[in-house]
Amino acid sequence: MVVRESDYRVNSPPITSDPPDHRPMRMVLIPPFTPQAVARLEAKARAVCNELIDRFVANGMCDGAVDYAQTIPVLINSQMLGIPAQHGDQFREWITMALQTGVTDEAALRQAEEAIAAYFEVQIKPRRENPGEDLVGFLIAARSPDGEPFSDRQVLGALRLLLVAGIDTTWSAIGSSLWHLATHEQDRARLVAEPESIPTAVEELLRAYAPVTMAREIAKTADIGGCQLREGQMVLLSFPAANRDPGKFPDADKVVIDRKHNPHAAFGLGIHRCIGSNLARMEMVVALQEWLKRIPVFSLDISKPTTWSQGTVRGPRNLPIRIG
């Protein structure tokens, strides 16, 4: 689907760059996001989930999106970036401006981008002297393969990307998973009884409720499936639709919670495979494990509205849940 001519582009390498520019920044960014690196954040993620559950479990109800799903990636990303956890609300506001309001409101998108850039400029300054252990410092200290430091613009672009791309996507994925379990009694009961099946279930929930649709610019005029695409046009790559391709997945529209063959494309394919996929998977698995341990019985509260995001990231924004 062609959405618009590419008259305005947010430059956030490496997600928007082509070879040969793509690889140097990508290779620098990858090591903190490997499964082995992400495993070091798992204990923190478990603690975060339990602290959040402590706040609402006794109430007998919660908003699974607001009180749980959205806060987990905000706190984990803050920890990784080395910025104060209390700035999380500010991040959520900018992300909503960029990815929800910004879909139809160009000025809001630009305002959010500028606010995020200004925020990270302040964070970068002290780390020029003393990079420290966090990801902001890591990027400042990093060198490209030819030994050069990355420019402020490149570091800012990468940080903005990690902030924007890592948060509402994961919150949407956790939220959709909770929505599914709140509305599918058998699947919920099965994961409570067999917590070791949760990682497999997470893959199926990613397939069925893929939160991300990516926009790309056509680099070379081509005919794809009978559709003429001209250089410079923007297109949407619908990972959610690919994941429900009946030619690829039997019973594609059905959530098969223990699906064995599941080469889904929720994190994209090729050189732009989501760099945070291992982090997102860890957060989803931990979020469901800790929730189901503490809240094995829950359902959707249909007396209140469930609302879903508008835009290219899909997930529940209000998810009223009755506990017990």
Partner 1 sequence: MSESRVLIVKIDPEKCQGHARCHALATELFELDEFGNARVRGSGQIPPTLEDRAWIARANCPELAVEIVEQAKAPD
| Binding region for partner 1 (CB under 8 A) | 27, 30-31, 33-36, 199, 203, 260-265, 267, 269-271, 273, 277-278
Q: How far is the CB of 95 from partner 1 (least distance, A)?
A: 25
Q: Are 49 and 72 in contact (CB under 8 A)?
A: yes
Burial class (CB in 10 A: 0-12, 13-18, 19+), 158: buried
Beta strands in 115-261 (DSSP E): 214-217, 222-224, 227-229, 233-237
Q: How far is the CB of 36 from partner 1 (least distance, A)?
A: 7
Q: How far is the CB of 101 from partner 1 (least distance, A)?
A: 32
Q: How far is the CB of 27 from partner 1 (least distance, A)?
A: 7
Q: How far is the CB of 21 from partner 1 (least distance, A)?
A: 18
Which residue's CB is nearer to partner 1, number 179 or number 249? 249
b/e code 230-262 from CB counts within 10 Å (16+ = b): eeebbbebbbbebbbeeeebeeeeeebbebeeb
Residue 130: how many other CB atoms lie within 10 Å: 8
Which residue's CB is nearer to partner 1, number 234 or number 279? 279
Q: Write down how long the chain is.
A: 324
Which residue's CB is nearer to partner 1, number 30 or number 118? 30
Q: How far apart are CA 81 and CA 135, in angstroms?
A: 5
**Phi, psi dihedrals of residue 108, rounded to the nearest 5°:** -65, -40
Which residue's CB is nearer to partner 1, number 123 or number 243? 243
Which residue's CB is nearer to partner 1, number 27 or number 85? 27
Q: How far is the CB of 79 from partner 1 (least distance, A)?
A: 20
Which residue's CB is nearer to partner 1, number 33 or number 209? 33
Sign of CA dihedral 273, 276, 280, 281: positive
